[in-house]
Amino acid sequence: MEEDDPIVQEIPVYLSQALAQHLYLYQYPMRPANREWKDIKVTNASIKPNNQIVRLEMGLDTYSDKYCPSKAEQIALNTDGAQESRYIKDKEKEKAQYFRSGMMDKIVYESSTPCTEIQHYAVAILQDKELHCTPIKGIVQMRPSYSYYDKQDKRKQDKNKAENSDDEEKEPEAQQVTVKFARPETEVAKKAREKSYETISQRVATEPWYDGLWKHPDSDHADLERLKLFSSTSSDGSTLTLKAGEYIRTLVPAPPADEADTAPTKSLSLQDQIREILINAKMLTFSELRSLCGSGTGLSSNSGVSETALLAALGGAACCVRGLWTPRSGDLYTRAAPAPPPLMCAARDHVLYLFTQHSYVERRKIAAAVRLPPQQVLEILQSVAKFNPKTGWELLLPPDTAFEAKYPEVMQRQNLYLEARQRQFNEMLIGESVPKRQRKKSQRDSTSSDTMLSPKPRNNSVSEEDSDRKRHKNKSATGTGKRTRNISSSSAHDT
């Protein structure tokens, strides 16, 4: 770039270290680039962590017009031999089979390491005029593996040996034996032997395979992992605006005046300040939070905080609900309590998601959904909401519609995070307990916790008084007898 070249646009660059030790770049040189991976089904994944070798088994579409079943059965027969009866099977022999279904229904990809110098490579993602870079741990190339041909050759050799063993054994002829003594190995020879192809192949072959867990790119787990590609640091490139002396002093701090003096205490970063402020205040607007961080009324004076730096720090320290910022659940529940911290975090994230869909929520329905004691449910609600006798539980502050209109990208990212946490909450409840038998469904109308798992968007929630009024009106109209209602301690406390 020359000095006369104009600056078209300045884009801040952030460095994320969340996945730096676990991020690998996969290359598929033998697969056409125009073929997508959405319809590919990975049936099994294995890995050798020491040698960084990955093995993926991808299923074939056996119902395709281009698939030949007879050829697939012939390949499986040559590889594994004749299949046993489906009623009498040896489990150990079945595990050793390459094609367990009796036909070639998969393609195996194994990796190789094409590049060892990976310190200059990174994965970058550009969003909201910000470039987030994550260093990679390694690069692997996935190529099709035809190891079943080796198994076919081995079967032929074993078959030939079995046929030759049936012949009469001949008396072995006398052979001359030569005894050799090994010389002591030098360091140079030892290093050369360790780098030889035979030694490396033996080391790779002796390492066992470990089963891996494959997640679809559209799953909730993959969405949460992709969010780690965004940096949560509060650096906004302010070091570029420093003077020469200040920049050098930042890189090389001044030595202490006295070696016996204790080291000065480090001031908290902007992200730690935000976390502490929100834990104490429970919920704040963006303007209030910026004034606390910029005026020096927080934990340390940090005047002149820009909106870009504050938004970058908020992304890793807080959650946004209707334009209001509140601390993340993992920062609130870190110690053991009457309820496990993971369950408390999941329940609080469930409540935050409900407030993105409703203006008011009911404590009774939340208690039925999260399955926690009433005291813990009350603690979760009081951390983000207040009780209104006329409508129900509502947010501590009115929604910040100005922030929602000004930063739609930030709101979209926060909503995606809460939706992913809500789907994990649903999966946790579904797998928590499976009933042994199902009771016959009652004909009477009842409110279940399933309605809280995936709430429908609406403006206002129905309060408990309205629901009781409607229930009483239906009873008087139909005349189907009386129905008593037990008032729990949680509802009595709310009223």
When mean pLDDT is compared across 131-135, 322-326, 337-341, the lowest value belongs to 337-341
- CA dihedral of residues 31, 34, 39, 44 (deg, nearest 10): 20
32: which 2 tokens?
């056409």
d(CA 122, CA 136): 5
Distance CA(158)–CA(27), nearest Å, equals: 37
Mean of pLDDT over the chain: 76
Long-range contacts of 251-255 (CB under 8 A, 24+ apart): none
What are residue 461's phi and psi, to 5 degrees? Answer: -95, 155
Percent of the chain predicted with pLDDT > 70: 74
What angle separates helix 286-294 from helix 270-281, to the nearest 10 degrees?
120
Give the number of other CB atoms < 10 A from CB of residue 51: 14
CB 319 within 8 A of CB 418: yes
Give the global pTM: 0.47
Where does the pLDDT of residue 441 fall: very low under 50, low under 70, confident under 90, or very high at 90 and above?
very low
For helices 220-227 and 408-432, the axis angle rounded to 10 degrees is 140
The H-assigned helical ranges of 14-171 are 69-80, 91-96, 147-165
Measure the CA dihedral 435/438/442/448, to 10°: 30
Give the angle 442-448-449 at the CA atoms, nearest 5°. 150
Q: What is the pLDDT of residues 57-72, one digit of tens each?
A: 988 888 888 889 999 8
Does the pLDDT of residue 169 top 60, yes or no? no
pLDDT value of position 260? 41
Whether the pLDDT of residue 433 is over 80: the answer is no
Query: In degrees rounded to 5, what are phi and psi of residue 26?
Result: -100, 130
Structure tokens at 62: 């056996």
**Euclidean distance between CA atoms 232 and 117, whole angstroms:** 27
- The pLDDT > 90 percentage for the chain reads 8
- Give the total residue count for the chain: 495
pLDDT tens for each residue of 80-126: 877 765 555 556 666 678 888 888 889 899 998 777 788 889 999 99
Say which residue, 118 or 259, is predicted with more confidence. 118
- Whole-Å CA distances, 180 to 177, 187, 275, 442: 10, 21, 72, 88
Q: What is the pLDDT of residues 5-52, one digit of tens each?
A: 888 888 888 888 889 888 999 888 888 888 777 778 888 999 988 888
Whether residue 297 has pLDDT greater than 70: no
- Lowest mean pLDDT, pick from 108-117, 341-350, 408-417: 108-117
**pLDDT higher at 87 or 400:** 400
